[in-house]
Amino acid sequence: MVDRTLDLGALQSLLDRARGQTVACVGDLMLDRYVYGEVSRISPEAPIPVLRSRRTVSMPGGVGNVARNVAALGGLARLGGVTGADPSGEELARLVAAEDRIEDFIDRTGTAGATIVKTRYVSGGQQLMRLDEEEVTVGAFSREDVFSGASAILLSDYAKGVVTERLIRSALWQAQQTGAVVIVDPKGRDFARYGAVDLIKPNASELAGATGLPVETDAEIEMALEALLAATTAKAIVVTRAGKGMSLMRRGEPAQHFPGRAREVFDVSGAGDTGLAALGLALGAGASLEQAVQLAILASGVVVGKSGTAVVSPAELIEAEMSQHAGAALAKVTALDDLAAEVEAWRRQGLKVGFTNGCFDILHRGHVAYLAQARSWCDRLVVALNTDASVHRLKGDGRPVNDLDSRAVVIGGLASVDRVTSFDDPTPLALIERLRPDVLIKGADYTREGVVGGDLVESWGGEVRLAEFADGYSTTRTIEKMIDSSLGEAG
């Protein structure tokens, strides 16, 4: 059964799978400039503020921002777009070349002056004005080798002329050959032109424009989604609804509504690009649509708290998820006396109590699968963590990477875990004697005879179970990857 939730463990597992995924990001490319300054007076020439410029920041915008977000989330972006033979196009090329995980497939065949530039003037965190420099169209895109090897294809259509019917057909053909998912961030009213893509991602305003229907309430959204699916051959549509979250409808299935995350909004510029990048990476990594939507909501919620056309990192997503669920996770962290009383109460209710232990230093996909399997063998699962001193004695210098409080909150954030406690002894034998679990779970790298406390548990009628670990995942290997990555960046 596909896991459709995205708790902290599932988030970390998904981000791990998404790392290194190749995503083709193709569409309308532009240069985003932000001129930051101070306003201290009104112009004597007209009733307008006078901005004293302090600094100017430039970055790839449009589909360039989608690619930046893919790269920031750990993916490998192949960026395709069109620029002109002008200084702004050259500046864009330099900015793209400075990005480590973006491969340049930019078509520089546009006419002189054809590079789209959007300049925003900002003071005190507020945009005063935006200046757009653009031709009606910038020219067709011809670098269709950009799709090769991609697990996801993202078409970012700003109606500037790059996302043509030929480009759409090429993307769909490539996806048919390789199994890549195709997602479109659309413009205009004719969404049927995108063909049988896997997902179309309009915002509420675009959905209303394409269907002519109101989109304020959930019921109105559902009617509009049904109408749009009937008018297109797309497999699914997800509509972004700002603070209301997102709504998803697959062809032939009822709509699902996903609430937004309550966060302070500083700047919404580029939030749609962040959501598109998150959807593509998640689906390319094999996540369900539901998980991909939840990742997109989380990522967009983080990025609107930043200034300018910003990106979001995996660490920021994990921090945001931990903050969201810290209260519930902390509530699972229980002292031994209180835990013993809870376990006894569970037992009186006829519930089967499971127990496992470990360091769980850096949570990874193997841990998540292990704990999910452990939980399937009981009604309540208790996880006992080695204290920091105990981890150091077992693992040596540099361990643990995360302290006990952090590890406890992360483990407590998993839906499969009901309570978290800790122990400092060389083995958890005293804990097992006190809690008297019905099921004692260890990894399949143990033998039944090697499980500490196994004889005790069986003496009171309990059982010992050995859970499988996902191949290729371990804290040691994760640390080695981090070290290798750090050395590579330093080199």
* Nearby residues of 68 by Cβ (< 8 Å), 6 or more positions away: 59, 60, 77, 99, 102, 311
403 is catalytic: no
Distance CA 176, CA 205 (A): 31
Written as one letter, the residue type at 63 is V
Written as one letter, the residue type at 101 is R
Pairing of the two strands 380-386 and 256-258:
unpaired
Concatenated DSSP letters of 57-113: EEEEEEHHHHHHHHHHTT-EEEEE-EEESSHHHHHHHHHHHT-TTEEE--EEEEPTT
Distance CA 370, CA 389 (A): 24
Contact 198, 192 (CB under 8 A): no
CA angle 214, 215, 220 (to 5 degrees): 85
- CA 395, 398, 401, 406 torsion-angle sign: positive
Which is catalytic among the residues 273, 361, 418, 438? 273
CA angle 231, 277, 245 (to 5 degrees): 65
Residue 316 burial (CB count, 10 A) = 18
Residues involved in catalysis: 273
